[in-house]
Structure 1
Amino acid sequence: MDSTTSTILVLVIIFFSTFVRSALGFGDALIAMPLLAFVVGMQVATPLVAMGASTIAFVILLKSWRKVEIKAAWRLVVSTWIGIPIGLYFLKEAPESLIKAILGILLVGFSLYNLISPKLPQLKTEKWSYVTGFLAGILGGAYNTNGPPVVVYGMLRKWSPEKFRATLQGYFLPTGAAILIGHGLAGMWTPEVVRLYAYCLPVIVGAVLLGGWVNQKIPKGKFDKIIYGFLVIVGVLLIVK
């Protein structure tokens, strides 16, 4: 695949994944990571998605920062910071095929969970936030997929939709910054990554604006099922590849 073709594919993937994140509040890495892994490999996809995710969170928070539930987010943030170095080590040392297979299993499991929508009990205490954040840090450092554990935790805590969306961005921004620093220290900010990120910036801003508009227009339930069904297919492809 030549450079021009791969760059165009990267821009299309980033636009779509950012659009989903802006419309739903999360999900960009779940879409972008496996697709970018096919195009540019995990070593480029991981820092590129991290840069994009932090940019998305910043742009969204420009409007919704007052709605962030700080009390619910700080425990998750701190414990995530602790787990990130473990995830970075796993990314550098584990075979790429193993990483893709694990990511595929994660995608299928998380997507089926959302499609089935099980009736789970409400968590009455914040004590599970530390375990959730630590697991999210490992997944975030390795695959930029720290979202699923936190999303499930938020569902179990029965956060309101407004608090859910805003608090996720308040969580993703500081944890994303830590992941970015970790990638930089690990030598993953290569010229190719920086070049692709520069191309992606205007695409990200446009997708955030469009996703925010769609968020107000499309019934979330139907849109969610389309996205999660697509993620099941992508996850299966990663597992069998």
Structure 2
Amino acid sequence: MSPAEITGFVLSAFAEPRFMLAAAVAFVAGLVRGFAGFGAAMIFMPVASSIVAPQTAAAGFLVMDTVLTLPLVAGAARHCEWHTVLPAAIAGMLVVPLGAWVLAHGDPLTLRWIISIVVLALLGLLLSGWRYTGKPTVPASLAVGGCAGFLSGTTQVSGPPVVAFWVSGSSSAQAIRANLIMFFFLDGLAAFAAFASHGFFTADTMKLIVAGAPTFALAIFLGAHGFGRTSDTFYRRIAFAMIAIAAITGMPVLDGLLR
């Protein structure tokens, strides 16, 4: 593409109301990620999937989220617990294509219901406080990784299962953070390949990224640096409430009222 064509493409992304609305959703998702450390996909996917095609929303979020975490991968590789990360990641990478197949061939309306219901179910898991109390054995790592991989392929909401799995052990906070970063990075590589094989990276996906990535990045920065004076509990409650609102408002049954 020539510089003029690139400029025209970028401007066209900002000229379409649906992409600007999706960028606003990305901003809210980024704020929550910044101050709570989780929940971006759980907010972005239900609402964005009601604005653009679920496949477009998933592929766009994958790119935005992966690019922003790339600088963290090298450090995470040195500190993660490979004995549990590797089997979880292998299982996830093997199952991601199955989830992507469901996303590629599912009815858009059905997919929106699935995304909202999955988000609400995973929110319930987080609210329950349930944690895996056993040791991160290879079979357990494979099972959790496979579950997270399927969710990644279908909804891009793969965090809660692995968070609940790793956060309850005796590992240090640094190791847990590194485990999550490495898992999501490796899982993301498989998702990139699976999404590309199904043709998810369309012009609409690129427009979503162009419009949403700047607001997502800015919001993460603001969330991380501008909301540090209040307790973690307060912000986690806000995050949970916003995730619930996003999941409910993304349900097709409310289209007549909200759209």
Q: What range is the shorter-chain TM-score in? A: 0.7 to 0.9
Q: Specify whether residues 202 and 25 from structure 1 end up closer, same or farther in structure 2 by C-alpha distance, changes over 3 A only.
A: same
Letter in 1 for 2:159: G
Q: Verify: 1:173 aligned to 2:185, yes or no.
A: yes
The residue aligned with 1:48 is 60
Q: Specify whether residues 121 and 199 from structure 1 end up closer, same or farther in structure 2 by C-alpha distance, changes over 3 A only.
A: closer
Residue 60 of structure 1: how far off its partner (Å) = 4.4
The residue aligned with 2:135 is 124
Q: Specify whether residues 112 and 131 from structure 1 end up closer, same or farther in structure 2 by C-alpha distance, changes over 3 A only.
A: same
Q: In the alignment, which of 175, 183, 202 is matched to residue 190 of structure 1?
A: 202
Residue 81 of structure 1: how far off its partner (Å) = 0.4
Residue 7 of structure 1: how far off its partner (Å) = 2.2
Q: In the alignment, which of 6, 17, 26 is matched to residue 5 of structure 1?
A: 17
The residue aligned with 1:81 is 93
Q: Verify: 1:229 aligned to 2:241, yes or no.
A: yes
List per-residue Cα deviations over 1:100-147 (Å, max 9, x = no partner).
2222222222222323324x5611242211011111111111111121
Q: Verify: 1:204 aligned to 2:216, yes or no.
A: yes
Q: Specify whether residues 233 and 13 from structure 1 end up closer, same or farther in structure 2 by C-alpha distance, changes over 3 A only.
A: closer
List per-residue Cα deviations over 1:14-66 (Å, max 9, x = no partner).
22222322433332111110110121121211110111121122144477665
Determine the C-alpha separation between the residues in 2 that align with 1:62 and 1:24.
23
Q: Specify whether residues 17 and 65 from structure 1 end up closer, same or farther in structure 2 by C-alpha distance, changes over 3 A only.
A: farther
The residue aligned with 2:82 is 70
In the alignment, is the contact (CA less than 8 A) between 1:102 and 1:239 conserved in 2?
Answer: no
List per-residue Cα deviations over 1:152-202 (Å, max 9, x = no partner).
212343544333333212211121122112111111111121122133333
Letter in 2 for 1:181: A
Determine the C-alpha separation between the residues in 2 that align with 1:24 and 1:69.
23
Q: In the alignment, which of 96, 100, 103 is matched to residue 115 of structure 2?
A: 103
Residue 85 of structure 1: how far off its partner (Å) = 1.0
Q: Specify whether residues 67 and 203 from structure 1 end up closer, same or farther in structure 2 by C-alpha distance, changes over 3 A only.
A: farther
Q: In the alignment, which of 174, 177, 181 is matched to residue 162 of structure 1?
A: 174
In the alignment, is the contact (CA less than 8 A) between 2:132 and 2:164 conserved in 1?
Answer: no
In the alignment, is the contact (CA less than 8 A) between 1:115 and 1:225 conserved in 2?
Answer: no
What is the count of residue pairs matched by the alignment? 239
User: Is there any run of 5+ residues in structure 2 with no aligned partner, and where?
Assistant: 1-13, 254-259
SS in 2 for 1:188: coil
Q: Verify: 1:90 aligned to 2:91, yes or no.
A: no
Q: Specify whether residues 185 and 205 from structure 1 end up closer, same or farther in structure 2 by C-alpha distance, changes over 3 A only.
A: same
Aligned-residue RMSD, C-alpha? 2.5
Q: Specify whether residues 60 and 215 from structure 1 end up closer, same or farther in structure 2 by C-alpha distance, changes over 3 A only.
A: farther
Larger Rg: 1 or 2? 2
Residue 215 of structure 1: how far off its partner (Å) = 7.1
Residue 74 of structure 1: how far off its partner (Å) = 1.6
